[in-house]
Amino acid sequence: MHESDEFVLGVDLDGVCADFYAKMREVFADWRGVDIGELSAEVTYGLPEWGTLPGEYDRVHRFAVTQRDLFLSMTPIVGSAQSIRRLGTEGVRIRIITHRLFIRHFHQTAVAQTVKWLDQHAVPYWDLCFMRDKSLVDADIYIEDTESNIQSLEAANKTVIAYTNSTNRRMNPPPLLRANNWSEAEDIVRSRYYAWRQERNMALPLAPGHEPPESGA
């Protein structure tokens, strides 16, 4: 854990806040010219279930961002924006950590779409980090869905919540912390945040609809 006078939540976007796989399923059906029902909604990392050919994923991803506004048009995952807003109101510093700059020559488009999407859905944040190795970005707790990222964060002794979707449901070994929805994720973050404040003899915030835990709980 880093030393700071703020409690930092590191939040991934794709698969955690934004429904990346649902939008990519729609785009891939368009790309292939097939009915979306032919593409499984239960996918693993890299989307082999859709019969992606060597090098095709990068081409589809480029098409999705440049021609279908991928990072602007994704639907928010249920409860994500609301939970982040509540935690931010209570004093948690929101640090967005996403790896969206992995295909060359359209970084400006990817960044612009990302910022506009965050503003459009009223997702508050103080920091916006585009990083492949997320363990290099400090936070007190992270929320992540990519299996390799979860494992690397745990290996670096970081506290990370695995946000459940089909790409990480069968992780072996299982993650230390898991949330199946944003209500569960919010509760875990709030519990860690309150404990952090108690360790520093800081008053506990009163969140609407959330009573602070009993001292020592």
5, 12, 30, 133: the active-site residue: 12
Alpha helix segments (H runs only) across 47-181: 56-68, 70-73, 80-90, 107-120, 147-155
Residue 195 contacts by C-beta under 8 Å, 6 or more apart in sequence? Answer: none
Alpha-carbon distance values, 191 to 7, 12, 120, 159, 198 (Å): 12, 20, 29, 13, 11
Distance CA 135, CA 156 (A): 7
Active site residue 127: no
Q: Would you state the structure tokens that stand for residue 70, as one six-digit string?
A: 């991928």
Active site residue 14: yes
Q: Would you state the structure tokens that stand for residue 211, as one six-digit string?
A: 């009573």
| Contact call for residues 185 and 161 (beta carbons, < 8 A) | yes
Q: Which residues are catalytic?
A: 12, 14
